[in-house]
């Protein structure tokens, strides 16, 4: 896949038939300059079990998970966290058992490598398309459409067991699908306005919104250590924002809105109850939300942006039809794939390990996007980004510290 994807980025396959009004510092839109992603360990992934009577307590890495609320109950809380999965495992007392042995280590390493690789390609291809095709609602709808097709294919071919879903469950999941839709839409809006590295730097603020919303609406007061870990996050993002070359308010506030919507899943999901179904595990729940997100956003796209992804419109805009379609397709596939792999990892490791891995993933995406798009980065900007990411790492550690009881 990697060699094929790199071929699509060759300078001989431009997306624009006419000259693009891009600035020299915004990166090469026509091909891969010199960057090659680091190789990853090879291995096979262990399928996530969906037949257990107790679903895992880890929660979402990039979407919601189901957590039992009491022993023997026929009720589950649809609990969602954000793309920063430190809150995904709140309340989980013990780490998940590891696979053990060399084979298990290689498998886990391969999954982490795929997780990072899919993220890299998603951000690069997505940014390339959004840079010239300035319709983020249409692009987001296309990504959900691709995910919907993959989900239906997976269920129809029995690659993954189709869930038994009731009407009450769909009603309970609907608010989660709504905020999931908005979160991804705002992320794409930000990526279309500012550099990929800057969007992900702002998204490092997710722990701040998690603590704020949990305190305001759930009464969950953070520990002193958690509050202290937020200081470098907020300070680092502020420092990076002040020195960001691609800064504009539309991109900044879109990324902030993405943080707010993703973190609001925690608040919503803790108040939602759905009837237990054995087949409704993390992957199936994400699959249902993907389909619902497409159904929610498709009519909005037609009303706000109209039909802008037709061959006639793309060609009339002076764009390379084949490359726009192909890169949009790859971005959509990578978008769905990295979230699926994230769930597979979350089923094998503790929430803390997953949270640390997510922090490292953000660093990898920022660095590779800077190299690929040749984003101008000053020393102060790099320092701010580094401080913010260090704060996220610290937050993922201190979040596990429980306050002492008298």
Q: Are 339 and 286 in contact (CB under 8 A)?
A: yes
Has residue 54 got a pLDDT over 70?
Answer: no
Cβ neighbours around 174 below 10 Å, total: 13
Q: What is the pLDDT of residue 95?
A: 42
Indicate the range of 15-29, 125-139, 212-226, 300-314 predicted with least confidence.
15-29
Has residue 96 got a pLDDT over 60?
Answer: no
Residue 270 pLDDT level (bands cut at 50, 70, 90): low
Has residue 66 got a pLDDT over 60?
Answer: no
Mean pLDDT on 37-55 = 41
Residue 133 included in any domain: yes
Domain that holds residue 266: 106-399
Mean pLDDT on 22-40 = 38
Has residue 84 got a pLDDT over 50?
Answer: no
Q: Are 33 and 145 in contact (CB under 8 A)?
A: no
> How many CA within 13 A on the CB side of residue 142?
26
Residue 16 pLDDT level (bands cut at 50, 70, 90): low
The predicted-structure confidence for 330-359, as pLDDT tens digits, reads as follows 999 999 999 889 888 887 887 777 878 888
86-109 burial, b for 16+ CB within 10 Å, e for fewer? Answer: bbbbbebeeebeeeeeeeeeebbe
Q: Are 225 and 396 in contact (CB under 8 A)?
A: no
Has residue 294 got a pLDDT over 90?
Answer: yes
Q: What is the pLDDT of residue 343?
A: 81
Radius of gyration of the chain (CA): 21
Residue 153 included in any domain: yes
**φ, ψ for residue 68, nearest 5 deg:** -65, 140
Percentage of the chain exceeding pLDDT 90 = 38
The predicted-structure confidence for 353-376, as pLDDT tens digits, reads as follows 787 888 889 999 999 999 999 988
Q: What is the pLDDT of residue 135?
A: 93
Q: Furthest-apart CA pair in the chain: how many Å? A: 70
Has residue 107 got a pLDDT over 80?
Answer: yes
Reduced to 3 states (helix: H, G, I; strand: E, B; else coil), residue 77 is strand
| Euclidean distance between CA atoms 47 and 43, whole angstroms | 13
What Å distances lie between residue 131 and 29, 197, 322, 334, 371, CA to CA? 8, 14, 16, 18, 17
Has residue 264 got a pLDDT over 50?
Answer: yes
Residue 376 included in any domain: yes
Residue 78 included in any domain: no
Average pLDDT over all residues of the chain = 76
The predicted-structure confidence for 117-165, as pLDDT tens digits, reads as follows 999 999 999 999 999 999 999 999 999 999 999 999 999 998 888 888 8
The DSSP letter of residue 221 is P
Residue 56 included in any domain: no
Mean pLDDT on 81-105 = 49
Has residue 265 got a pLDDT over 80?
Answer: no
Q: What is the pLDDT of residue 272?
A: 54
Reduced to 3 states (helix: H, G, I; strand: E, B; else coil), residue 362 is helix
Residue 352 included in any domain: yes
Residue 338 included in any domain: yes
Mean pLDDT on 219-240 = 90
| Euclidean distance between CA atoms 391 and 397, whole angstroms | 10
Domain count, the chain: 1
Residue 180 included in any domain: yes
Is the model more confident about 208 or about 39? 208
Mean pLDDT on 281-308 = 90
Residue 26 pLDDT level (bands cut at 50, 70, 90): very low
| Euclidean distance between CA atoms 99 and 294, whole angstroms | 36
> Of all helices (H) and strands (E), which one includes residue 107?
helix 101-132
Has residue 266 got a pLDDT over 50?
Answer: yes
Q: What is the pLDDT of residue 8?
A: 52
Q: Which residues, including other chains, have CB under 8 Å from residue 189's CB and lie 6 or more apart?
A: 136, 250, 251, 254
The structure tokens listed for 310 are 């037709």
The predicted-structure confidence for 384-405, as pLDDT tens digits, reads as follows 999 999 999 898 888 877 665 5
Q: Which residues, including other chains, have CB under 8 Å from residue 185's CB and lie 6 or more apart?
A: 136, 137, 140, 297
Mean pLDDT on 62-78 = 40
């Amino acid at each position: 896949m990697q060699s094929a994807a790199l071929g699509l980025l060759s300078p001989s396959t431009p997306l624009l038939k006419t000259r693009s009004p891009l600035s020299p510092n915004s990166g090469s839109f026509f091909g891969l300059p010199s960057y090659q992603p680091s190789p990853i360990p090879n291995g096979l992934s262990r399928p996530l079990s969906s037949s257990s009577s107790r679903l895992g307590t880890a929660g979402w890495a990039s979407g919601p998970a189901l957590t039992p609320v009491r022993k023997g109950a026929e009720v589950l809380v649809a609990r969602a966290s954000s793309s920063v999965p430190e809150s995904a495992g709140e309340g989980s007392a013990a780490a998940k058992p590891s696979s053990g042995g060399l084979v298990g280590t290689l498998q886990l390493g391969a999954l982490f490598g795929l997780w990072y690789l899919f993220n890299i390609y998603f951000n690069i291809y997505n940014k390339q398309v959004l840079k010239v095709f300035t319709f983020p609602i249409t692009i987001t709808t296309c990504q959900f459409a691709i995910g919907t097709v993959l989900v239906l294919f997976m269920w129809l071919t029995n690659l993954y067991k189709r869930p038994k879903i009731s009407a009450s469950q769909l009603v309970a999941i609907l608010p989660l699908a709504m905020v999931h839709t908005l979160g991804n839409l705002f992320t794409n809006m930000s990526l279309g306005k500012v550099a990929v590295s800057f969007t992900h730097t702002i998204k490092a603020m997710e722990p701040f919104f998690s603590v704020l919303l949990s305190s305001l609406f759930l009464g969950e007061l953070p520990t002193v250590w958690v509050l202290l870990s937020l200081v470098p996050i907020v300070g680092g993002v502020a420092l990076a924002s002040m020195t960001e070359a691609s800064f504009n308010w539309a991109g900044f506030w879109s990324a902030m809105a993405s943080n707010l919507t993703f973190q609001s899943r925690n608040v919503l999901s803790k108040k939602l109850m759905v009837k237990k179904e054995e087949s409704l595990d993390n992957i199936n729940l994400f699959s249902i939300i993907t389909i619902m997100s497409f159904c929610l956003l498709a009519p909005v796209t037609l009303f706000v942006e109209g039909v802008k992804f037709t061959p006639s419109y793309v060609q009339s805009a002076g764009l390379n039809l084949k490359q726009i379609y192909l890169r949009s397709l790859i971005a959509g596939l990578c978008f769905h794939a990295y979230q699926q792999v994230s769930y597979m990892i979350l089923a094998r490791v503790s929430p803390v390990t997953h949270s640390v891995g997510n922090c490292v993933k953000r660093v990898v995406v920022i660095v590779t996007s800077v190299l690929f798009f040749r984003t101008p980065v000053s020393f102060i900007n790099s320092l701010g980004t580094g401080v913010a990411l260090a704060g996220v790492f610290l937050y993922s550690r201190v979040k596990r510290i429980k306050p002492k009881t008298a």
